[in-house]
Structure 1
Amino acid sequence: MPSALSDSTARLVRATIALEGAAVGIGNVLSSSIHSVARNPSLAKQLFGYAIFGVVPVLEIRKVVGRAHETLFVKFISLNSPKTRVPFGFPS
């Protein structure tokens, strides 16, 4: 029996999982910096710069992962109901 998911869809799933792991790792680093400021408030100015550089990649990863989830959702819907129209702007 052939697989319901194409090779490109499987790649998209793997890339999404990898990006989510990266976002969790960066989030852990940011959480540690917040805990550091709570323990030593005199380092707040120094750690703020690091926190800004950590927030930007997390936001960008969130955009990419969100778009990948939308694409996977549309592919799943189109696989399970062939008469469903794909909304404008989503890849089929």
Structure 2
Amino acid sequence: MLNRNAAAWHEEHGMADDAVRHAAARDAAWAARVIEQNADALHLRSESATLQRWLAAMPADSAGSSSRLSLVQARLALLSGRVRPVEGLLDAAESVEGRSGRSR
């Protein structure tokens, strides 16, 4: 309960870093949503290390449950010169989209 309250307070006050840290401890879906909402802004500010830290704090299976998080991971891999994992991450994103029934 304490982590959830702390995450909510930090998110409400625009402190995404602290919100993700608290949410990842108890509510991976909430943390994923905060990461998704902030990923583009962090990329524009060249804060890939922050995104990598946030993703590392998430449970291992949670990143694969969101197509957006898979795309964020793929973009980070490309930016850091790691090409090998990109295809798998793009496949994971496509798979999640297919399971959710969304079309582009």
TM range (shorter): 0.3 to 0.5
> If you compute each CA radius of gyration, which structure gives the higher value, 1 or 2?
1
Higher relative CO (CA 8 A, sep ≥ 6), structure 1 or 2?
A: 1
Query: What TM-score comes out, normalization by structure 1 length?
Result: 0.35
